[in-house]
Amino acid sequence: MPELPEVETVRRTLTDLVVGKTIQSVTVSLPRIIQKPDDIHQFELDLAGHRILEMGRRGKFLRFIMDGVVLVSHLRMEGRYGLYQSGDPVEKHTHVIFYFTDGTELRYRDVRQFGTMHLFAAGDEFNHKPLSKLGLEPLDDAFTYEAFRDVIARRTTKIKVALLNQEYIVGLGNIYVDEALFRAGIHPETPACELHEEQLRKLHAMILETLNEAVEAGGSSIKSYVNGQGEMGMFQQLLRIYGRKDEPCVVCGHVVEKTVVGGRGTHFCPVCQPLKRTSAGKSKVRRKVGSADNQGSGGVKG
Ligand SMILES: [Zn+2]
């Protein structure tokens, strides 16, 4: 699934490809992609004649900002856009085609068919699902340490679970959360409320560092995700902890472990990211840390 850096890369690519173009007509061949309006005929009618002014993004949602309307698009698992000339053969799994007045076509392909599109009157998109309840935008200037601390520091949930909650911070997916926690030296199962200020500051800085590196590298992907112009993400090669189960930690050499936190596969180094059990009075912390065969548990510092 594309994460925030990939979607940001797609946004930038689409900015180059479609901003300034005017939609002549639209055809939809898979109605369930269109979540709003209910009637796909209305969707096609409502988009005709509009000019794309700007490409925006909110979390992992792309925003096609037009004169009077905004199209909100989520790629989900496999959705992708491509710009074609009219007459180019239409590839399988192409579900929506935007025909521009200059003879080019923006085509939306989605093998898994999980992607969504919502059409709103301009400005109205933030008052409704799916954008209405989203949290802080980590690549915005407003994502300061203080803003981060205010949404995270009091949570009693595990820090990894808190970071994945889109109502707190948007767009931080499984890969980047593991990377940021590793770089910050924080065990993913640490309750958020037990992190002290120095750890929170470090984590905030590492979230920014990880995301910015990924955006610069064009986004990563586990499944050779291709962005709007067909470039492959390069960040995958920069991953320090994610996907490295049983490999030596790049910092200390200890074997990288994999566990499950909040239902998600989670990579961590038990030496670089020790789980401190500070308060004896709290209910028992589950002994689920470490891999099933318990290898490497001797490396945890007391
Ligand atoms: Zn390590």
Domain boundaries, the chain: 4-127, 145-294
Q: Is 277 annotated as a binding residue?
A: no
Is residue 74 marked as binding?
A: no
Is 11 labeled as catalytic in the residue annotation? no
On whether 93 is known to bind a ligand per the annotation, the reply is yes
Decide if 37 is catalytic: no
CA–centroid distance, residue 272 to ligand 1 (Å) = 4
Percent of the chain with pLDDT over 90: 70
Tokens 């369930």 belong to 32
Tell me, what's the pLDDT at 299? 38
- Measured between alpha carbons, how far is 236 from 13 in angstroms, rounded to an integer? 19
Distance of CA 184 from the midpoint of ligand 1 (Å): 11
Q: Would you say residue 236 has pLDDT above 90?
A: no
Task: Give the distance (Å) from ligand 1 centre to CA of residue 140.
Answer: 31
Q: 66-86: per-residue pLDDT in tens?
A: 999 999 999 988 888 989 999
The verdict on whether 130 is a catalytic residue reads: no
Q: What is the pTM of this model?
A: 0.78
Query: Which CATH class name applies to 145-294?
Result: mainly alpha
60 is catalytic: yes
Mean pLDDT of 234-256: 89
CATH fold group of domain 4-127: N-terminal domain of MutM-like DNA repair proteins (3.20.190)
Quick one: residue 63, left, alpha or beta (phi over 0 = left, psi -120 to 50 = alpha)? beta
- What value does the mean pLDDT of the chain take? 86
φ/ψ of residue 265, rounded to 5: -60, 130
